[in-house]
Amino acid sequence: MATSVVAPMVGKVLKIEKKAGERVEEDDVVLVMEAMKMEIPVVAPASGVLKEIKVSPGQAVEAEQILAEIE
């Protein structure tokens, strides 16, 4: 079953910590966002294989936007 990693708030993608195809455990940091001049680590909501990363560093994102898919 696929699980989405969604943006917890409006902000900007700062850096991507994992690659597509990589295995991630629940609570691993998938990417780091910047909001209100603060770095926010965004973690995997579940364990699995990172199927796709839908954003790139520097990209502005809306709250609840899908950032990556885990399968």
In the complex, the smallest distance separating the C-beta of residue 71 from another protein, rounded to whole angstroms, is: 19
Residues near another protein, by CB under 8 A: 6, 8-9, 27, 35-38, 40-41, 43, 45, 63-64
- Which residue lies nearer to another protein by CB, 6 or 54? 6
Instruction: State how far the alpha carbon of 1 is from the alpha carbons of 10, 22, 42, in Å.
Output: 26, 16, 20
Q: How many CB atoms lie within 10 A of CB 7?
A: 22
In the complex, the smallest distance separating the C-beta of residue 32 from another protein, rounded to whole angstroms, is: 12
- Give the phi and the psi of residue 3 in degrees, each rounded to 5: -120, 140
In the complex, the smallest distance separating the C-beta of residue 60 from another protein, rounded to whole angstroms, is: 15
